[in-house]
Amino acid sequence: MSDSFDSPQANDTVPNTPTNIADDHENDFAILIPDNDAARVAFSAVAELIQLDNDRMPHARRFVHINPNRSLLSPETNTDTDTSEQVVRALLYSGYYRLNFDIVPSNPLLGWLIGRGTGDPEEETGVDLSLSIAGGKSVRKRHARITFDFKTDILILIAEKGRKVLVNGKHELKGSQRVLGALVTSLDIGGLRYRFQYTVQGHSAYQHRLAEYKAKLGLPPTPAFEAGSTCTVLAGVHQTTGALVAVKRMNRSKRNASHISHEIDILHSIQKHDPHPNICRLVDDILIGNDRHGPIDSRIDEVYLIYTPLAANTFGHLISSGVNRSDRVLFFKQILQGVAYLHSIGVMHRDIKPANLMVVSYRPPRGMITDFGHATFEKTSKDHHKGTLCYLAPEVWNLKRGGESAPAYDEMVDMFALGVTAYQLLCFETWWWGEEVSAEVSESIDGHLEHLDSSLPTGVTLLRHMLARDPAARISAKNALEAAFMRYTMAPGTEHSGIETNQRRKKMKLEIS
């Protein structure tokens, strides 16, 4: 039998009275379609009970769509002997099970329970998607469930304890769970095979309806601790380990598909090396709708990147906070160690900036590098479209102005960007210059560093080497790790309160205006 989504081919149809099931499927977001003869026969038995008696299965019937005509199994799939009784029994109701934001399951927080119903109006089992009725033992009363992880809005399938579900013919779930990430997923439940398929048209409509559904349940909107024009970062819980994770949700389009695929490839390549405490780790990448190398679908096309550890604040928050300078020094040293690690495995990040540096914890201080969308394994590059303008090294600006005639840049661009970030971090400075760290801005920054000489003399020396406008004179990450500052501990009483920073910032703005 073909694995198509169409109803089984029929050589005869018998008119039937329309069901009482509502035809308004506007808020259906997914359906579960019987996909082998055993599942079709089981569905027909459920549908027949519903059709014959309006009192039967009052709850479960709400999730069932029954087609108006019964279909006769084609001869090549009907293995019964040809008797009139068996032919009559082969006339089956066809249809599917509905997941709909307007039809709430028995326990909304636990999701849609999949199992075996009794058909007895006096005995409601709490099953939402009744795959069969009493008598068949292959499907248990409580076999599996489909539910949202409301922390991330990801839909997952959970096999109940002691129950088995086979996903896509090869992944066995037994008391475990799996994300329903693909547009179509094959599920074998007790020998009954189904196709789970998303049906909602459009990502925005799906998110809007999901938000309304959560509001109906009294749940708050999924919190995002970082949101931009291209992605949203959410807090989540790893379903296997229970660890807190960061979930980066992106809408994939023709415009950004290659960029997203590139970021995933870079992260997978980094995963092949030993983990580093100051580099984020990709736990999983989940695509809702399509393979990331395949065509863009017009319906749901989302990518979820699951990172660990969870970090809710960026260095942007750290810079503007009241965290003391000694802790800031520790954060800086950790990021420098992370950059040195990336360079040692051949990765040029190309977008080091406060927004891409995360605070995992304040006590003890722990920083982390994230966002590898602009990273590359190339040793040199002339691509001047990568990075953030106000953190670009002078050699990248030379390419922007001089085109192909300007020399290529290398990993030293990361050291310049980190130098600018470290200046902000250690001098309590938010971004005050324009879109370019020009020679004039560099001169003002250098003058500002003089104020650190008394408390961080070796730190000032290191920062000046990192901020050298000539990349040949700039210090490498490896050599920076060996600098005296990396062994330096601030003396008591040298903390910076940040009070005089605003006065110096105003003065510098006047000097470069």
Ordered structural domains, the chain, with CATH? 13-203 (2.60.200.20), 223-308 (3.30.200.20), 313-512 (1.10.510.10)
Alpha-helix runs per DSSP H in 183-251: 203-216
Amino acid at 331: F
CA distances from 28 to 65, 97, 153 (A): 11, 10, 16
What's the pLDDT score for residue 203?
A: 65
Q: Residue 91: its pLDDT value, please?
A: 85
Q: How far apart are the first and last CA of the chain?
A: 76
Distance CA 96, CA 25 (A): 12
Q: What does pTM read for this prediction? A: 0.61
Compute the Cα dihedral for 224, 227, 232, 235 and give only its sign: negative
**Hey, what long-range contacts does 458-462 have (CB within 8 A, 24 or more apart)?**
458/483, 458/484, 458/485, 458/488, 459/329, 459/426, 459/485, 459/488, 461/485
Both tokens assigned to 29: 């977001």
Residue 337 to residue 339: CA distance in whole angstroms: 6
- Bond prior to 108 in cis (omega within 30° of 0): no
Tens of pLDDT along the chain (513 residues)?
Answer: 333 222 223 333 333 333 333 445 777 999 999 999 999 999 999 999 999 888 888 999 999 999 988 887 654 444 443 333 444 456 899 999 999 999 999 999 999 999 998 766 555 568 999 999 865 568 998 999 999 988 778 889 999 988 999 999 988 998 888 888 778 899 999 999 999 999 876 666 787 888 888 888 887 776 666 666 567 887 776 766 667 788 888 888 888 888 899 999 999 999 999 999 999 999 988 887 655 555 555 455 788 899 998 887 899 999 999 899 999 999 999 999 999 999 999 999 999 999 999 999 898 999 999 999 999 999 999 999 999 999 999 999 999 998 778 999 999 999 999 999 999 999 999 888 988 999 999 999 998 888 776 778 889 999 999 999 999 999 999 999 998 888 765 544 445 444 344 444 444 443 333
